[in-house]
């Protein structure tokens, strides 16, 4: 069963079947960019989900990894000027 051309694009047939679509190079580049963006967004979403799951696990285990603000500043060598 042979398919009709997609939109105004040419197609390549093999054995009576459509096996490829010929697209302008600019359109191909746009599609590849959209694919990269989708992949990176999916990766960021997965990383967010993992971080949230780890956070919930720490909460459930009652692990407090926080340190006071002033202690963090001392560790980083940040000196706050004295207010006169």
| pLDDT tens readout for residues 21-68 | 999 999 999 999 999 999 999 999 999 999 999 989 888 888 877 888
- Token duo for residue 53: 């799951």
| Ramachandran sector of residue 72 (left: φ over 0; alpha: ψ -120 to 50; beta: rest) | alpha
Sheet strands (E) in 17-64 = 17-22
What is the domain partition of the chain in residue ranges? 24-76
Main-chain dihedrals φ then ψ at residue 4, nearest 5 degrees:
-75, 155
Instruction: Output the pLDDT for position 5.
Output: 52
pLDDT of residue 3: 52
Host H or E run for residue 1: none
Residue 6: band (very low, low, confident or very high) from pLDDT cuts 50, 70, 90: low
Terminal Cα distance for the chain, rounded? 86
Q: Is the pTM of this model over 0.85?
A: no
């Amino acid at each position: 069963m042979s398919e009709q051309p997609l939109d105004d694009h040419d197609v390549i047939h093999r054995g009576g079947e459509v096996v490829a679509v010929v697209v302008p190079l600019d359109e191909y580049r746009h599609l590849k960019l959209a694919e990269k963006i989708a992949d990176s967004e999916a990766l960021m979403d997965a990383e967010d989900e993992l971080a949230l799951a780890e956070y919930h696990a720490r909460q459930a285990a009652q692990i407090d990894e926080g340190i006071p603000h002033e202690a963090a500043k001392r560790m980083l060598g940040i000196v706050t000027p004295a207010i006169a």
